[in-house]
Amino acid sequence: MPFMPQLTKNIFKKCFLGLCWLSIYLQAAAQTPIGPLGQWREHYNNKSVQHLVKGNVLYGATTNQVFSIDVKNNIQFLGKSNGLNEIEIAAIAWDPIQSQLMIAYKNSNMDIVKGDEIFPIADIYLSKVYANKKINSIQILGPWALVSTHFGIVVVDLIKHEIKDTWFANNSRQAIITYQTISTSDSLYALTEEGLYSTALKNNYITSNQWKKINGNIAIKKLSSFNNTVYAIGSKNIYQLPKTDPIYQTSTDFINNAFAHKEGLYIIQSNGVNGSLVNLNFNNTVTTILDKNFLAMPVDMAIDPTTIWIADSLNGLIIKNTETKNIPLGGPTEKIRGTGFVNADYLLAPFGEKIGGFSSYSDAGWKNYTKLNGVNIPILTAASIDPVDNTWWFTSGNSLLQYNISSNSIETMSPNALAGNFTQIQFSKDGIFWGLQDGQGLIQKQDNKWTSISLPNNYLKNGLKKMVVNRQGQAWVPGPANQGLYVYQSNKYFGTAIWKQLNTSKSLGNLPSNTVLSIALDNTGSIWVGTDNGIGIFNCGDISKEVCDAFLPTIKNTNGFTGLLLQRESVNCIAVDGANRKWVGTQNGIWLLSADGSSIIEHFTKNNSPLPNDTILQILIEPKYGEVFFNTANEMVSYRGFATEGSAKQSEIKIFPNPVPPNYNGPIAFRELVENALVKITDINGSLVFETRALGGQAIWNGKSLTGNKVATGIYLVFVRDDLGNEKSVGKIVITKGE
């Protein structure tokens, strides 16, 4: 049967990606190590494992990435950051003949991973023939992959990596939802929306229009086979075809799946909260293998001679051999919906919304906190870290929580009796604690004393969410419901304490819009305000005496016309890196702007980067390595940026990589420099090879001379100084070209 002409020929060629599965060890909490400059990392919630398959190693899939575990207990991850073309995995399958892994995605795209190559198959995704192209499952049948979809069975040639044919179990070439196929030595079975069909199978192929519907009024949702015996799996019953009397029944649980094996039928089931794995042997004896102590919602499993692996959509990956244990796969255990915080040591990420607890990230990887000393942690919405004693602070309803790492204890406090949830907290540069209380205004803690600062009576108070405090003791608060910007000025730096409301009018704020969505303080003290119509920049003095208007930066668009910066974009968040550049999160991805906003350096979207979603909720920048974390409407990823925070004093220069290995073409980084340092690189004789300026505290060299040629093998000297010549240092770098 020829391939249906309606589905387009695969237009993708083989693409060598230098694929690198990012490796960690099973014994440690799973965490992908930080990579070189410009590399991305996923920080996905991996507690929901959806698919397992046994190949040359064990392969599994969480919602958004693939993992493998080998005999030495190495866990490796594969996602968009290192080669895959999509997220949201629908099915995986192992081809033992070609030694390759096939991955199907929920948007109907497919990848085949073979060694260090990835072969995309986008025909189904690109086709406009069928309205619903959902992929339900994959069966490997000799040199073919049978992909069950919502319109039929797509046959993929696993050698040529292209679509070969499309089969329809209803013999009519009309779309028929097909959930799964399975085969015996001489027959192929297809589970469809219209019931179960079978057809003769010869040389792994079928004859057109020879499908027959199998009679029987039994409800089936899965199929399994072993030794030419086919099992039909329903929600409460399992049948050995062609018999219609169940060989297994359950009254309390729902059967999620069953797997025929030489040791009998392995059945995974759940009541929605508690799950179990049982074995029905050939004598019809049922033995419980695992119970609710380990399983909640088991959905898939794989078996090798010594081990049973269980995929649980609530509890992650469970291994059963001489012992039973849960295998941690790393990442936050929930989506991050609170407001996070980062410094050089920790990233804090409250779960927010309806989930109690938070995640922390450090050099040791992700750690999740849902209980402390046996007590459930409440819902937390925002975080900060005290720069003096390094205690962790969180907002929780109308209370504040202070967590002490060394004593592993939490103190709960209520600074005032006023009604309203705390939504944002910050420690200003002078060590004062500031909090934003919805429905009320601000609170301060100074010299161990709490003070409430109420909004004026004529200000709309309900819906206060964000705040930033500058060096002059001014708190900038986006007003709720299109109220522009509220600014509170204390009398610590200026003589008059006052509230002021800013809007779009000249001399009254000059905002690009009264809908203020985000706010950030940059390294020079400027206030950057993001609205639903771009960005405004404030550099204000005493607001009780002076006009405080925003400067609206302009930029030349791709069409050659000059317009307002990010005009008509909703600016959800703004973060400032060590070089004072602005990372801006919108509904259309991420924009990296120059320090003054006059140019766009990068624009990342889900189509040109590993971003899982183009809606950016928050951006956090780790100052030591310059890693930029993006919390999206889906999950979190990070990017190793080129700028870090500058050092106060110039000490030893950190150089990576050093020595530079043969054939290395990536950037060479010089870290822990004073801000905006001048960096000169010379050969051993003192001849200038290259010079540049640090981006904050990090300078980048591409390994080329000033004339653009690759430098020769040898030892090179690195000289660093600030503009005044007071902070100096000398380093050495070895270049090996491997000639």
Residue 19 has pLDDT above 80, yes or no: no
Residue 274 has pLDDT above 80, yes or no: yes
Task: Give the C-alpha separation, 117 to 676, whole Å.
Answer: 41
Residue 718, burial from CB neighbour count under 10 angstroms (0-12, 13-18, 19+)? buried
User: 3-state SS string over 682-705?
Assistant: EECCCCEEEEEECEECEEEECCEC
pTM of the entire predicted model: 0.90
CA dihedral 682, 687, 688, 690 (to 10 degrees): -50
Query: Residue 21 — very low, low, confident or very high, per pLDDT cuts 50/70/90?
Result: low
Q: What is the pLDDT of residue 208?
A: 85
Q: How far is CA 290 from CA 233, 297, 307, in A?
A: 20, 12, 13
Query: Residue 738 — very low, low, confident or very high, per pLDDT cuts 50/70/90?
Result: low
H or E element that contains 192: strand 187-192
Q: How far is CA 658 from CA 165, 166, 664, 734, 735, in A?
A: 52, 54, 11, 6, 8
pLDDT tens digits for range 721-736: 988 888 889 999 999 8
Residue 23 has pLDDT above 60, yes or no: no
| All residues at 6 or more sequence positions from 417 whose CB lies less than 8 Å from its CB, including other chains | none
Mean pLDDT computed over 280-309: 93
Query: Residue 11 — very low, low, confident or very high, per pLDDT cuts 50/70/90?
Result: very low
Q: What is the pLDDT of residue 282?
A: 84
The terminus-to-terminus CA distance of the chain in angstroms comes to: 54
Residue 15 has pLDDT above 60, yes or no: no
Q: What is the pLDDT of residue 35?
A: 72
- Report cis status (omega within 30 of 0) of the bond before 657: yes
Q: Kindly list the strands in the beta sheet with 516-521, ordered across the sheet, starting from the edge strand earlier in the chain.
A: 516-521, 527-531, 534-538
Pairing of strands 582-586, 15-16: unpaired
Residue 206 has pLDDT above 70, yes or no: yes
Per the prediction, the chain carries an average pLDDT of: 91
The answer to whether residues 650 and 629 touch, using CB atoms and an 8 Å cutoff, is no
Query: Residue 355 — very low, low, confident or very high, per pLDDT cuts 50/70/90?
Result: very high
pLDDT tens digits for range 531-558: 999 999 999 999 999 999 999 999 987 6
Residue 373, burial from CB neighbour count under 10 angstroms (0-12, 13-18, 19+)? exposed
Neighbour count for residue 258 (Cβ, 10 Å):
23
Task: Give the C-alpha separation, 49 to 71, whole Å.
Answer: 20
* 3-class secondary structure, 599: coil
| All residues at 6 or more sequence positions from 213 whose CB lies less than 8 Å from its CB, including other chains | 194, 195, 196, 197
Query: Residue 22 — very low, low, confident or very high, per pLDDT cuts 50/70/90?
Result: low
Task: Give the C-alpha separation, 189 to 181, whole Å.
Answer: 5
CA dihedral 527, 531, 536, 542 (to 10 degrees): -50
The answer to whether residues 634 and 79 touch, using CB atoms and an 8 Å cutoff, is no
Task: Give the C-alpha separation, 2 to 4, whole Å.
Answer: 6
Residue 16: both structure tokens together: 């060598």
Q: What is the pLDDT of residue 492?
A: 86
* 3-class secondary structure, 206: coil
Nearest CA among 304, 240, 308 for reference residue 277: 308
Query: Residue 109 — very low, low, confident or very high, per pLDDT cuts 50/70/90?
Result: very high
- Amino acid identity of 638? S
CA dihedral 119, 125, 130, 134 (to 10 degrees): 90
The shares of helix, strand and coil residues in the chain, as percent rounded to the nearest 5, are 0, 50, 50
Question: Tokens 């079975």 identify what position?
Answer: 189
The answer to whether residues 224 and 260 touch, using CB atoms and an 8 Å cutoff, is yes
Q: What is the DSSP string of 429-457?
A: TTS-EEEEETTTEEEEEETTEEEEEEPPT
CA dihedral 151, 157, 162, 165 (to 10 degrees): -40
pLDDT tens digits for range 503-513: 999 999 999 99
Q: What is the DSSP string of 69-130?
A: E-TT-EEEEESGGGT-S-SSEEEEEEETTTTEEEEEETTS-EEEEETTEEEEE-HHHH--S-
Nearest CA among 618, 646, 669, 577 for reference residue 34: 669
Q: What is the pLDDT of residue 26?
A: 45
pLDDT tens digits for range 309-330: 999 999 999 999 989 999 989 8
pLDDT tens digits for range 436-465: 999 999 999 998 899 999 999 999 999 999
The answer to whether residues 314 and 323 touch, using CB atoms and an 8 Å cutoff, is no
Nearest CA among 52, 120, 135, 36 for reference residue 83: 120
Q: Which has the minimum average pLDDT: 10-24, 117-131, 201-215, 604-618?
A: 10-24
Neighbour count for residue 607 (Cβ, 10 Å):
8
Residue 676 has pLDDT above 70, yes or no: yes
Taking domain 654-735, whether its CATH number is 2.60.40.4070 is answered by yes
Quote the percentage of the chain above a pLDDT of 90: 81
Mean pLDDT computed over 26-41: 69
Backbone torsions φ then ψ of 231, nearest 5 degrees: -115, 135
Residue 8 has pLDDT above 50, yes or no: no
Task: Give the C-alpha separation, 693 to 681, whole Å.
Answer: 12
Q: What radius of gyration, in Å, describes the C-alpha atoms of the chain?
A: 30
* 3-class secondary structure, 518: strand
Q: Put residue 649 in one of left, alpha, beta given phi > 0 → left and psi -120 to 50 → alpha.
A: beta
| All residues at 6 or more sequence positions from 462 whose CB lies less than 8 Å from its CB, including other chains | 438, 439, 480
Task: Give the C-alpha separation, 507 to 728, whole Å.
Answer: 46
Q: What is the DSSP string of 637-691?
A: EEEE-S-BPPBSS--SPEEESSSBPTT--S-EEEESPBTT-EEEEEETT--EEEE
